[in-house]
């Protein structure tokens, strides 16, 4: 009997802790993420008779910004819309995405938790390559961490996720303009995918 009461008490405490840490339905979140990475790589310069005359260092940098707004339709479950803009000096490329997302929070304390975000939408790529003006769609699943220094403000971080991308472009040929497409699916994790975010919660 004592064991039964102790078990019931523990379950009650766990439920109370969950009720305190849960982000309630009806809460509105407004946030955004910013990311930056820089990569340097050495390679041989001019090669003559098997000898290199110089050493060349290629440096690539990438910047991204991703605003979002969401509404909690249930405790710890939000749906919303977001956008993502990325630029890199490699081929002077610019990436733009706009779509919708579903995000679930698993809080382990009042201040710390995990997130999982499933999203997808439209994307456009513009660059100095031969295949400029690509359009298509994307989908992705991104795990992350979230920390609340105060109840209404959270700081989040992620290092990539599972992504699918499809792009189409047109190229002129002897028979007129033809449409080509490419698709990519894979898991991309690493510091080059590091993204920090800040989110404010109205009604929490």
In order along its 204 residues, the chain shows pLDDT tens digits of 444 344 444 344 444 444 457 899 999 999 988 878 777 777 776 665 656 567 777 787 888 898 999 999 999 999 999 999 988 887 778 889 999 999 999 999 989 999 999 999 999 988 776 566 789 999 999 999 999 999 999 999 988 899 999 998 877 655 556 777 888 888 877 766 777 889 999 988
Q: What does the block give as tokens for 44? A: 């041989």
Task: Note the CATH number of domain 2-202.
Answer: 2.40.160.20
- Scored b (16 or more CB within 10 A) or e, 25-49 reads eebebebbbebebeeeeeeeeeeee
Q: What does the block give as tokens for 22? A: 């849960």
The answer to whether 136 and 121 have CB atoms below 8 angstroms apart is no
Any alpha helices (H) in the chain, and if so which ranges? 2-21
Task: Enumerate the domain spans of the chain.
Answer: 2-202
State pTM to two decimals.
0.72
């Amino acid at each position: 009997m004592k064991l039964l009461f102790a078990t019931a008490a523990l379950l009650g405490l766990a439920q109370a802790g969950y009720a305190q840490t849960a982000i309630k339905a009806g809460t509105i979140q407004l946030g955004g993420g910013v990311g930056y990475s820089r990569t340097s790589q050495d390679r041989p310069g001019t090669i003559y008779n098997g000898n290199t005359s110089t050493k060349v260092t290629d440096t690539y940098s990438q910047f991204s910004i991703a605003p979002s707004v969401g509404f909690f339709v249930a405790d710890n479950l939000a749906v919303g819309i977001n956008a993502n803009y990325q630029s890199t000096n490699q081929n002077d490329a610019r990436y733009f995405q706009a779509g919708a997302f579903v995000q679930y929070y698993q809080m382990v304390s009042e201040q710390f938790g995990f997130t999982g975000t499933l999203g997808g939408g439209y994307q456009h790529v513009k660059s100095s390559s031969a295949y400029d003006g690509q359009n298509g769609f994307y989908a992705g699943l991104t795990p992350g961490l979230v920390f609340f220094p105060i109840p209404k403000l959270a700081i989040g971080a992620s290092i990539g996720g599972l992504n699918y991308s499809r792009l189409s472009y047109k190229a002129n040929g002897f028979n007129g303009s033809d449409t080509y497409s490419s698709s990519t699916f894979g898991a991309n994790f690493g510091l080059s995918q590091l993204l920090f975010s800040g989110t404010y919660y109205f009604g929490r």
